[in-house]
């Protein structure tokens, strides 16, 4: 479904260019949930931006369902760490925004937005303003806005990082339920190894900058999963120790970078 072949990405800098990704290969199958982990600055977000058509690589090929990626794709939904709700629009109109931009008529998009808000536990807050929502509720609204256009691929860039532990755990369960229900392909960036193992079919470890894949780990925990059902199991602990050992080496390498 998603494919990077020998991809290199460079960014201009004051003292010359900076290589974010170096001859990177990555494949994500249709319907798979893959988590990317690695040191800060290793290019995880760049991977998402390249696959979403937002960044053009200096070398290599990028494909979606076998076709070259040549720009921003309507089939890709993107959820970032930042709060992206528009403060001057009601929550309902925020959820309906992507549909509005695609020309969906007002009655249809508002009905769809209401149904999604109810599904995400936001019923009763349709006419509220974003400032009146908690952090977790804002994130639910942002997810509903993306789901409103039925993306085939969902890319998530540390979406729950700013949230408290309890809210983050509840939203992780929501993502698992969403994935199990829709069967969409998800590529998930996180610094939280526990989160990665809880959610993913595979955890892909990137090296210190410039990023490249240095490890791929199949997560063979049974599905359907819920956070509290798996995170204390012996197999979970074994997987976490194995991946953490490899991640620690990359973190040490990153600490030695300028």
Q: Is the pLDDT of residue 251 over 90?
A: no
151 and 77 Cβ atoms separated by less than 8 Å: yes
Alpha helices in 124-164, H assignment, sequence order: 135-147
pLDDT value of residue 106: 92
- Range in 88-97, 143-152, 241-250 the model is least confident about: 143-152
Whether the Cβ atoms of residue 145 and residue 95 lie closer than 8 Å to each other: yes
| Residue-wise pLDDT tens digits, 80-134 | 877 789 999 999 999 999 899 888 999 999 999 999 888 888 999 999 999 999 8
DSSP assignment letter at 207: P
pLDDT per position as a tens digit, 176-201: 888 888 888 999 999 889 999 999 99
| Spatial distance between the Cα atoms of 69 and 62, rounded to a whole number of angstroms | 6
Predicted TM-score of the model (pTM): 0.87
Q: Which of 244, 209, 223 is nearest to 46 (CA)?
A: 209
Which of the 8 DSSP states describes residue 160?
Answer: T
Instruction: Answer whether 258's CB lies under 8 Å from 219's CB.
Output: no
Instruction: Assign 224 a pLDDT band (cuts: 50, 70, 90).
Output: confident
Topology of 27-56+152-258 in CATH?
A: Rossmann fold (3.40.50)
pLDDT at 52: 86
pLDDT in the model for residue 257:
65
Is residue 90 within 8 Å of 127, Cβ to Cβ? yes
pLDDT of residue 227: 82
Residue 32 above 90 pLDDT?
Answer: yes
Percent of the chain that is helix, strand, coil (3-state, to 5): 40, 25, 40
| CA distance linking residue 97 with residue 198, whole number of Å | 31
* pLDDT of 22 above 70: yes
From residue 213, how far is each of 21, 69, 135 by CA, in Å? 10, 21, 33
Q: Of residues 96 and 12, which shows the higher confidence score?
A: 96
- Locate the DSSP E strands across the chain: 2-11, 18-28, 33-37, 59-64, 67-68, 76-79, 153-157, 185-189, 202-206, 213-218
pLDDT at 159: 83
Mean pLDDT of 55-67: 88
**Calpha distance 170→21 (Å, rounded):** 33
User: Quick one: CA dihedral 154, 227, 219, 159, positive or negative?
Assistant: positive
pLDDT of residue 14: 63
Phi/psi of residue 255, nearest 5 degrees: -65, -25
pLDDT grade for 25, boundaries at 50, 70 and 90: very high
Residues 141/90, Cβ–Cβ less than 8 Å = no
What pLDDT score does 235 carry? Answer: 93
Packing angle, helices 135-147 and 165-182, rounded to 10 = 20
- The residue whose two tokens read 């403060």 is 87
């Amino acid at each position: 479904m998603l494919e990077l072949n020998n991809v290199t990405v460079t960014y201009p800098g004051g003292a010359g260019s900076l290589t974010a990704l170096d001859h990177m290969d990555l494949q994500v199958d249709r319907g798979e949930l893959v988590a990317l982990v690695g040191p800060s600055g290793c290019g995880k977000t760049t991977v998402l931006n390249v696959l979403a058509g937002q960044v053009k690589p200096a070398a290599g090929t990028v494909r979606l369902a076998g076709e070259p990626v040549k720009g921003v794709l309507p089939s890709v939904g993107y959820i970032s760490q930042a709060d992206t709700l528009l403060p001057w629009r009601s929550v309902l109109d925020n959820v309906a925004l992507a549909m509005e931009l695609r020309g969906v008529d007002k009655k249809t998009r508002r009905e769809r937005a209401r149904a999604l808000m109810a599904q995400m536990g936001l019923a009763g807050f349709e006419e509220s303003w974003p400032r009146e929502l908690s952090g977790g509720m804002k994130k639910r609204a942002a997810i509903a806005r993306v789901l409103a256009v039925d993306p085939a691929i969902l890319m998530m860039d540390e979406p729950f990082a700013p949230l408290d532990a309890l809210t983050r755990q509840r939203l992780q369960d929501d993502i698992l339920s969403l994935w199990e229900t829709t069967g969409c392909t998800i590529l998930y960036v996180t610094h939280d190894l526990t989160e990665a193992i809880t959610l993913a079919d595979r955890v892909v470890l990137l090296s210190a900058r410039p990023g490249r894949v240095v490890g791929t780990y199949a997560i063979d925990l049974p599905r359907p999963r819920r956070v509290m059902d798996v995170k204390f199991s012996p197999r979970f602990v074994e997987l976490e120790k194995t991946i953490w050992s490899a991640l620690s080496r990359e973190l040490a390498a990153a600490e030695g970078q300028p």
